[in-house]
Amino acid sequence: MAEDVFKALADPTRRKILDELTERNGQTLFEICTRLTTKHGLGSSRQAISQHLAVLESAGLVVSRRQGRYKFHDLDTQPLERIVTRWLKPDAPEGTP
Amino acid sequence: MAEDVFKALADPTRRKILDELTERNGQTLFEICTRLTTKHGLGSSRQAISQHLAVLESAGLVVSRRQGRYKFHDLDTQPLERIVTRWLKPDAPEGTP
DNA sequence: TTGATAGGCAAGTCGTTACTTGCCTATGCT
DNA sequence: AGCATAGGCAAGTAACGACTTGCCTATCAA
């Protein structure tokens, strides 16, 4: 639902995670943790990031695939494209009769 | 800031207000209140809507103009267009070389 | 098999936020 | 002037959300 997408986007840490996955897709939880602390400078614990990933996943913004003991996370921008057209309708992007 | 925009969009009542202003721009506080209760069926008090409008206004999504004892509220979608391109950049909409 | 790595689950804490309640200001009409 | 309408301010309450803490499971390498 759109509700979940908006609530998922409300948190700055979750938006940083989306930024990180935009740069490099298919990261594991620990990869995201380390790159968030080093590059973006925010010290969030593993559990915190894990819960954020769960929120993003239930919103459909992130899909995960398990492989052995690793769990890779991929970005999915489809939910984003849907929610924005809500108030931008009178724009008539291109193929509108 | 983008922070304010995302937080403003996180609340379902505020999104309904944006829906309402999309349908009819330039409404007063009382107009929005009555149309939200009648059409959308959600019973929010005047003060609640007033505070929501303040949040939307500080996020730049709504601009207000005072005229006598009335205060009209207009939708501004510019902040929306900015925040979405954040993760949709590789899309290259149409006029991109 | 043992240890190390990658991740999950659940309860509890603390801050934020949406909403209420009560009162106040300002404009317009008669 | 007097009253009604349109809106604002501020403190208090209740619930939600982010984060922590502690322990548990599963996979791989030695």
Q: Which of A9, A16, A57 is nearest to A36 (CA)?
A: A16
Is B93 part of a structural domain of the chain?
A: no
Max CA separation in chain A (angstroms): 51
Position B93 scores a pLDDT of 43
Enter the tokens of residue A53.
């990933």
Enter the tokens of residue A32.
């995201």
Q: pLDDT, tens digit, for every residue of A31-58?
A: 999 999 998 888 889 999 999 999 999 9
CATH number, position A29:
1.10.10.10
d(CA B87, CA A96): 24
Is B79 part of a structural domain of the chain?
A: yes
Position A91 scores a pLDDT of 52
Q: CA A70 → C1' C1, Å? A: 23
Provide the residue range defining the domain that includes B22.
2-84
Split into its structural domains, chain B has a count of: 1
Work out the minimum CA distance from B74 to partner chain A, whole angstroms.
13
A89 at the B interface (CB within 8 A)?
Answer: yes
Residue B13 near residue B64 (C-beta atoms within 8 A):
no
| pLDDT beyond 80 at B52 | yes
Q: Where are the alpha helices (DSSP H) in B1-97?
A: 2-9, 12-23, 29-38, 46-58, 78-84
Place of tokens 């925009």: B5
Q: Is the CB atom of residue B11 positioned under 7 angstroms from any atom of strand C?
A: yes
Confidence of residue B70 (pLDDT cuts 50, 70, 90): very high
Is B33 part of a structural domain of the chain?
A: yes
